[in-house]
């Protein structure tokens, strides 16, 4: 027994029900849950299909045709489905969020389109009133029921005489609200009905002004029989072009009935964007879920667009996307495997088809191969990489270069490619997407092949040293060149190498680039940071300007007697070597190039003027 103090107060909590502002709910649906009021017709079709499906489970001979009628009063949709009793009407139509399919959720997933019990409210985005007349097929003795709801949240229910609605089923009538009449125009209703319901398993028609327009086209094109594979392929390609709005390069049939998914993947005729996942057209048991659904395929399969029908995936509340769950993850993997299998098949049996595909989508295949060494092994003879031997497959390149060096960036490859090729050093450009990762897989697939990162010291070591006497003769020039390059954190060395058309080679590794960034940061830093950054300068690596003794241009430097002009010549060689790397120039490098160009122009002008005076 609880003893109460004099100050204690016994309180009894009252119980209340939430009050729902229907206009607020409708605003939430139209502006946040659904992408457009157009979904109202999908929700009507969905309820009708579910009702017909429920009755068909009990009576296989029951009618299934769904009729949409448009006249001056609005829109009606009639179905010969399972119908509702008066108790059902109060339970399901008047309770927001209650679904007649919710009691058996797994059954709802497999047999019915709807799950969330809010679909009928979507009609209030375009309708002022909703009138539902229904008669239950499961209880023939029950009277027909009329349920009328208004957008202000009020509704009424009354029983009708059996003669007023003699057959089981449901008719939903919408009265347009002011400003939404365009959604009830016959042409628009037909377009929406075809878009959402063309693949439904039951016949759907739209009648207006005495004209009846069929909506459904029968089974999906990929489930039809054709006299030959050629005709089947032509029909599938035509369907893809009409449905997706582009001419496919190729197609992949997705026959995965065990996963509850069927359809076709269409290969884009233009390169896709690897940074953006594909958007697909997805049907749920024949009803269009969305035409830009993402997450259906792995991210690497960005080069295909799918049209699929599924009875196993779970839609989001808006029924315009797929719910991310374990089942979707499994199906995503299954469909990804199907795309890989297709590539394997055409690589082995149809090389021309593969070549046409790779001409557009080599990047996509490389993306897939990073996730599948088995696929990479199959595709290696067909994928080309930028190397010092040109654009060649890695299988061919590995035969000539058992030790393969790979660069980190495109600029690093361009910096050394011509010189490395002349020295017989095998280098692969690893700066492009996925190339570096794929080259790293080679030792697993090609025994005896070694892959190592390219180091600037490797190139330097491969260059021939210059005879000591010849280098001694260039000591004054080298001394001036080193003094000129020192402020730019660049050393100068002399080597003999090919091609002779390259007078100077600029080499810097990752450590040297980091050091240059550190030095540039220290210039604009405060005193504390400058001291910290300067402490990191101990034995910091520097870039190298390698002068080519085999180049006639370098040898002519000995003929320059003017120290200032010699300095300009060295700066010009440095600028040319930088330009050969194709990397962005720093402000200091741009200023140096402009200064050297100006000096040469001034010298040429003075020489031309002097020659003119001598002629006179």
286-338 pLDDT, tens digit per residue, is: 999 888 899 899 888 889 999 999 988 887 766 677 888 888 999 999 998 99
- Mean predicted confidence (pLDDT) in 572-590: 83
- For residue 601, how far is the Cα from the chain centroid? 51
Residue 566 pLDDT exceeds 60: yes
Separation between Cα atoms, residue 192 and residue 541, nearest integer Å? 67
* Cα–Cα distance for residue pair 414/258, rounded to 1 Å: 51
Q: What is the model's pLDDT at position 72?
A: 92
- What are the tens digits of pLDDT across the range 470-508? 888 889 999 999 999 888 888 999 999 888 888 998 888
When pLDDT is cut at 50, 70 and 90, the band that residue 121 belongs to is confident
pLDDT higher than threshold 90 for residue 74: yes
Q: What is the pLDDT of residue 241?
A: 95
- Average pLDDT score over the chain: 83
C-alpha 169, offset from chain centre? 44
Percent of the chain scored above 70 by pLDDT? 83
**Plot region of 23 (φ>0 → left; ψ -120 to 50 → alpha; else → beta):** alpha
For residue range 201-215, what is the model confidence (pLDDT) as tens digits?
999 999 999 999 999
For residue 440, the 8-state DSSP code is: T
User: Which DSSP helix (H) or strand (E) runs through 54?
Assistant: helix 39-58
Phi and psi torsions of 520, nearest 5°? -65, -35
Coil, strand or helix at 385: strand
Structural domains of the chain sorted by starting position, each given as residue range(s) with its CATH number in brackets: 22-214 (3.30.565.10), 221-355 (3.30.230.80), 383-454 (3.40.50.11260), 463-610 (1.20.120.790)
**More confident: 27 or 250:** 250
pLDDT category at 529 given cuts 50, 70, 90 is: low
* pLDDT (average), residues 261-285: 88
Phi/psi of residue 389, nearest 5 degrees = -100, 10
Q: What is the mean pLDDT of residues 195-201?
A: 93
Helix (H, G, I), strand (E, B), or coil: what is residue 135? strand
Residues 391-395: contacts with CB under 8 Å, at least 24 apart: 394/428, 394/438, 394/439, 394/442, 395/446
pLDDT at position 514 = 54
Mean pLDDT across 216-233: 93
Tell the residue number behind the tokens 């040429």, with chain if given: 604
* Angle, in degrees to the nearest 10, between helices 563-580 and 475-485: 60
What per-residue confidence (pLDDT) applies to 300? 85
pLDDT band at 2 (very low <50, low <70, confident <90, very high): very low
pLDDT, tens only, 3-15: 555 555 455 565 5
Which of 83-87, 93-97, 120-124, 399-403 ranks highest by mean pLDDT? 399-403
Q: How do residues 355-403 score in pLDDT, each as one tens digit?
A: 999 999 998 889 888 888 888 988 899 999 999 999 999 999 999 999 9
Residues 178-188 have pLDDT tens digits of 999 999 999 99
Closest C-alpha among 228, 301, 296 to residue 262? 296
pLDDT score of 189: 97
Give the pLDDT score at 145.
93
pLDDT greater than 80 at residue 104: no
111: confidence class by pLDDT, cuts 50, 70, 90? very low
pLDDT digits (tens, 9 = 90+) for 165-178: 999 999 999 999 99
What pLDDT is stored for residue 89 in this prediction?
Answer: 84
Which residue is it, tokens 């080599």? 362
Residue 103: what pLDDT?
A: 45
The pLDDT value recorded for residue 209 is 92
Q: What is the pLDDT of residues 379-391, one digit of tens each?
A: 899 999 999 999 9
Contacts of 385 (CB under 8 A, 6+ apart): 391, 392, 393, 394, 397, 428, 429, 435, 438, 439
Give the tens place of pLDDT for each residue, 505-527. 888 866 555 555 555 555 555 55
Burial of 357 per CB tally in 10 Å (0-12, 13-18, 19+): buried
Q: Identify the pLDDT of residue 535.
A: 54
Measured CA to CA, the distance from residue 125 to residue 112 in angstroms comes to: 24
- CA dist 546 and 156 (Å) reads 92
**What is the average pLDDT across 18-45?**
71
pLDDT of amino acid 240: 95
Q: What is the pLDDT of residue 102?
A: 40
């Amino acid at each position: 027994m609880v003893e109460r103090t004099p100050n204690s107060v016994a309180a009894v909590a009252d119980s209340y029900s939430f009050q729902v502002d229907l206009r607020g709910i409708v605003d939430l649906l139209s502006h946040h849950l659904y992408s457009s009021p157009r979904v109202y017709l999908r929700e009507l079709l969905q309820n009708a299909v579910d009702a017909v499906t429920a009755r068909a489970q009990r009576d296989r001979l029951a009618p299934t045709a769904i009729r949409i009628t448009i006249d001056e009063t609005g829109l009606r949709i009639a179905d010969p489905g399972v119908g509702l009793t008066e108790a059902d009407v109060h339970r399901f139509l008047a309770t927001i969020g209650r679904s007649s399919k919710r009691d058996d959720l797994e059954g709802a997933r497999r047999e019915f389109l709807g799950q969330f019990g809010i679909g009928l409210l979507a009609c209030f985005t375009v309708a002022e009133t909703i009138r539902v007349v229904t008669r239950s097929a499961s209880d023939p003795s029950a009277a027909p029921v009329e349920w009328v709801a208004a957008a202000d949240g009020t509704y009424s229910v009354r029983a009708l005489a059996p003669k007023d609605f003699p057959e089981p089923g449901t008719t939903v009538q919408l009265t347009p609200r002011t400003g939404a009449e365009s959604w009830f125009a016959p042409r628009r209703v037909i377009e929406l009905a075809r878009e959402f319901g063309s693949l439904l398993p039951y016949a759907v028609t739209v009648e207006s002004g005495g004209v009846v327009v069929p909506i459904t086209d029968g089974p999906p094109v990929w489930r039809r029989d054709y006299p030959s594979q050629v005709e089947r392929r032509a029909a599938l390609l035509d369907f893809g072009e009409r449905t997706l709005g582009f001419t496919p390069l190729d197609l992949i049939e997705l026959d995965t009935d065990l996963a509850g998914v069927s359809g076709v993947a269409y290969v884009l005729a233009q390169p896709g964007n690897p940074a953006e996942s594909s958007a697909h057209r997805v049907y749920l048991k024949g009803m269009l879920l969305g035409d830009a659904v993402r997450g259906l395929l792995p991210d690497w399969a960005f080069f295909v667009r799918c049209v699929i029908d599924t009875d196993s995936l779970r839609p989001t509340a808006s029924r315009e996307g797929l719910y991310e769950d374990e089942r979707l993850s499994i199906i995503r993997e299954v469909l990804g495997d199907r795309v890989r299998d297709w590539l394997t098949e055409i690589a082995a049996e149809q090389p021309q088809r593969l070549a046409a595909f790779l001409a557009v989508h080599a990047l996509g295949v490389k993306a897939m191969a990073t996730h599948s060494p088995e696929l990479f092994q199959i595709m290696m003879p067909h994928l080309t990489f930028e190397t010092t031997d040109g654009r060649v497959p890695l299988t061919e390149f590995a035969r000539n270069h058992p030790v393969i060096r790979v660069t980190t960036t495109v600029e690093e490859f361009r910096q050394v490619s011509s010189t490395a090729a002349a020295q017989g050093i095998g280098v692969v450009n690893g700066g492009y997407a996925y190339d570096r990762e794929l080259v790293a897989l080679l030792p697993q697939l090609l025994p005896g092949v070694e892959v190592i990162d390219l180091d600037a010291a490797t190139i330097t070591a491969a260059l021939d040293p210059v005879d000591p006497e010849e280098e001694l003769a260039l000591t004054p020039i080298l001394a001036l060149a080193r003094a000129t390059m020192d402020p730019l954190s660049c050393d100068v060395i002399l080597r003999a190498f090919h091609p002779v058309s390259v007078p100077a080679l600029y080499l810097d590794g990752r450590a040297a680039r980091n050091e240059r960034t550190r030095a540039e940061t220290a210039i604009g830093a405060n005193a504390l940071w400058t001291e910290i950054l300067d402490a990191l300068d101990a034995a910091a690596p520097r870039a190298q300007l390698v002068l080519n003794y085999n180049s006639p241009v370098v040898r002519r430097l000995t003929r320059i007697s003017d120290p200032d002009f010699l300095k300009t010549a060295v700066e010009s060689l440095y600028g040319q070597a930088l330009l050969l790397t194709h990397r962005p120039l720093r402000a200091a490098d741009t200023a140096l190039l402009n200064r050297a160009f100006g000096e040469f122009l001034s010298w040429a002008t003075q020489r031309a003027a002097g020659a003119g005076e001598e002629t006179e």
